[in-house]
């Protein structure tokens, strides 16, 4: 890569015209020792506007780190062009260094109390495309559904909104059609919002699923879920006084009207329910827990027991705004979250105990190659993805 091209990339970053592919190139060359001198010249000419002889060498290292941090903080957009606020590079980089620095340090290695997922033994048995199914035969690809398009299935009218959400309502002929089970399944790097028959709303993270009847005709509004979902539930008083129930593996969540996050990936040893508003009652194999806002329960599937604790709302709900937020999070958990979003496996031999923690705000629209390169800057490992499997080497 020529100096002129590298300089053009930095200028495009400043002028809000850089693409995600170009960002990947920039962060790659930023980490390459062969481009050290050229990077210093670009920093002098484009960013610092001062001769190299007058600058401390540490300034250049700090600036290269800031490039990584700035890239990871770019807001997510649906367009391929990434728009940034118009401000000077130096101000933006300093703000990012303070607000979104990434660091790793030795810790006790005991992360069982913070575990939100299972790091080992992933089989990744998920769909490569997001879809909905109706009964046992009708399958609809959500990726092929255009914004504003309406689909009618078994007395159901589906509309894909401009923001990607799926609006769900019954057709005039619905009463003449027997209710069927409806399922929505999301693939890697996909999130979907769906409005349920009672008006409740569910957001599905990547590699998640939700099943529900096309009409709630039973005494309860019962749905089944796997993966990670956020629910906003219509109160029972507005739904014929029917309780809303979420079944996830062994756990049953009963709500009257509330908002909560559920993490229930099948391969994990834990089911985590984080309550934002309202009140929920949890039951599983004879165990019971009641949550109030700001509390979450961790259900141990093997131990058949609940642990109730406070939770960090920013971390838990970050996925809904297009980010990963990690605060002193164990590296295995960080990699597990990345694998679920980007859709790669983790090599089984990489499940050794890591005595390190990561703090970072990472935009989920950044290529995984750039994210892993940034982690290599702070972690004593090299991350390689081969045949869709992450391999760690010291």
User: Domain-by-domain residue ranges, the chain?
Assistant: 1-101, 131-315
Q: Look at residue 130 and tell me whether its pLDDT is greater than 50.
A: yes
Q: How far apart are CA 159 and CA 88, in angstroms?
A: 42
Q: How many CA atoms lie within 13 A of 28 on its CB side?
A: 12
DSSP state of 108: -
Mutual orientation of helices 57-72 and 368-378 as an angle, nearest 10°? 140
Q: In the chain, count of helices (H) and strands (E)?
A: 8, 24
The mean pLDDT value for 205-209 works out to 95
**Rounded distance, CA 372 to CA 333, Å?**
14
Both tokens of residue 304?
A: 């058949």
Instruction: Please identify which residue in the block is written with the tokens 């509330």.
Output: 258
| Token representation of residue 75 | 């807001």
Residue owning tokens 């993270």: 205
Instruction: Give the count of alpha carbons within 13 A of 170, CB side only.
Output: 17
Give the Cα separation of 323 and 315 in Å (integer).
9
Alpha-carbon span 239 to 145, nearest angstrom? 30
| Percent residues over pLDDT 90 in the chain | 29
pLDDT at 167 > cutoff 50 = yes
As a whole number, mean pLDDT of residues 372-382 equals 83
Look at residue 16 in the predicted model and tell me its pLDDT.
Answer: 54
Query: Comparing C-alpha atoms, which of 211, 165, 156 is closest to residue 185?
Result: 211
C-alpha distances out from residue 84 to 16, 70, 92, 258, Å: 5, 10, 10, 35
**pLDDT for 70 beyond 60:** no
What is the reported pLDDT for 278?
94
Whether residue 313 contacts residue 276, with contact meaning beta carbons closer than 8 Å, is answered with yes
Round to whole Å and give the CA distance between 153 and 386.
41
Domain 131-315 class, CATH top level: mainly beta
Pair 363, 322: CB distance under 8 Å: yes
Residue 215 predicted with pLDDT over 50:
yes
What's the DSSP call for residue 233? P
Count CA atoms closer than 13 A to 306's CA, side-chain side.
Answer: 23
Quick one: average pLDDT of 343-366?
A: 76
Residue 353: the pLDDT is: 53
**What is the pLDDT at residue 394?**
79
Q: Considering the chain, what is the average pLDDT of its residues?
A: 75
Higher pLDDT: 111 or 164? It is 164
Whole-number Å distance between alpha carbons of 374 and 225: 34
Name residues whose C-beta falls within 8 Å of residue 144's C-beta, 6 or more positions apart in sequence. none
User: CB-based contacts of 236: which residues, under 8 Å, 6+ apart?
Assistant: 242, 243, 244, 256, 257
Residue 112 clears pLDDT 90, i.e. is over it: no
Query: What's the distance, CA 170 to chain centroid?
Result: 31
The rounded distance, in Å, linking the Cα atoms of 117 and 337 is: 8
CA distance 75 to 322: 8
150-153 and 138-141 beta bridge pairing: unpaired
User: How many angstroms separate the CA atoms of 160 and 162, rounded?
Assistant: 7
The pLDDT assigned to 38 comes to: 79
Examine the pLDDT at 137 and tell me if it is beyond 50: yes
DSSP assignment letter at 46: I
- Residue-wise pLDDT for 285-318, tens only, equals 888 899 999 999 999 888 888 899 999 999 999 9
Section 92-110 average pLDDT? 33
224's tokens: 């089944």
pLDDT at residue 294, rounded to an integer: 95
Range 112-120 average pLDDT: 32
pTM recorded for the entire structure: 0.68
Q: Given a cut of 90, is residue 272 above it in pLDDT?
A: yes
Query: Quick check: 342 pLDDT over 60?
Result: yes
**pLDDT given at position 246:** 97
pLDDT above 80: residue 77: no
């Amino acid at each position: 890569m020529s100096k002129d091209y590298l300089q053009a990339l930095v200028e495009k970053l400043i002028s809000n015209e850089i693409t995600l592919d170009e960002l990947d190139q920039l962060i790659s060359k930023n980490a390459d020792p062969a481009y050290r001198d050229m990077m210093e010249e670009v920093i002098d000419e484009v960013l610092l506007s001062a001769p190299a002889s007058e600058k401390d060498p540490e300034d250049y290292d700090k600036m290269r780190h800031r490039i990584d941090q700035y890239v990871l903080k770019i807001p997510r957009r649906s367009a391929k062009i990434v728009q940034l606020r118009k401000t000077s590079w130096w101000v933006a980089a300093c703000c990012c260094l303070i607000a979104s620095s990434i660091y790793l340090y030795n810790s006790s290695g005991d992360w069982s109390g913070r575990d939100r997922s299972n790091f080992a033994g992933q089989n990744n048995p998920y769909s490569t495309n997001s879809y909905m199914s109706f009964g046992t035969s009708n399958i609809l690809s959500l990726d092929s559904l255009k914004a504003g398009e309406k689909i009618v299935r078994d007395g159901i009218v589906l509309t894909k909104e401009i923001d990607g959400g799926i609006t769900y309502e019954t057709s005039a002929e619905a009463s003449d059609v027997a209710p069927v089970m409806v399922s929505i399944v999301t693939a890697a790097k996909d999130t979907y919002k769906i409005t349920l028959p009672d008006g409740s709303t569910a957001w599905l993270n990547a590699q998640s699923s939700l099943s529900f009847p096309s009409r709630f005709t039973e005494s309860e509004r019962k749905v089944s879920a796997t993966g990670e979902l956020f629910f906003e539930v219509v109160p029972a008083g507005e739904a014929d006084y029917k309780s809303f129930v979420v079944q996830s593996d062994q756990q049953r969540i009963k709500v009257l009207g509330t908002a909560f996050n559920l993490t229930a990936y099948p391969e994990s040893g834990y089911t985590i329910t984080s309550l934002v508003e309202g009140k929920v009652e949890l039951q599983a194999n004879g165990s019971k827990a009641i949550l109030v806002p700001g509390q979450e329960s961790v259900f141990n599937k093997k131990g058949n027991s609940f642990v109730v604790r406070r939770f960090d709302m920013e971390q838990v709900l970050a996925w809904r705004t297009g980010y990963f937020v990690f605060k002193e999070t164990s590296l295995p958990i960080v990699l597990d979250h990345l694998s679920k979003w980007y859709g790669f496996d983790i090599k089984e031999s990489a499940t050794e105990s890591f005595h390190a923690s990561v703090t970072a705000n990472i935009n989920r629209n950044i290529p995984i190659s750039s994210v892993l390169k940034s982690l290599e800057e702070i972690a004593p490992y090299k991350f390689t993805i081969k045949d869709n499997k992450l391999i760690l080497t010291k």
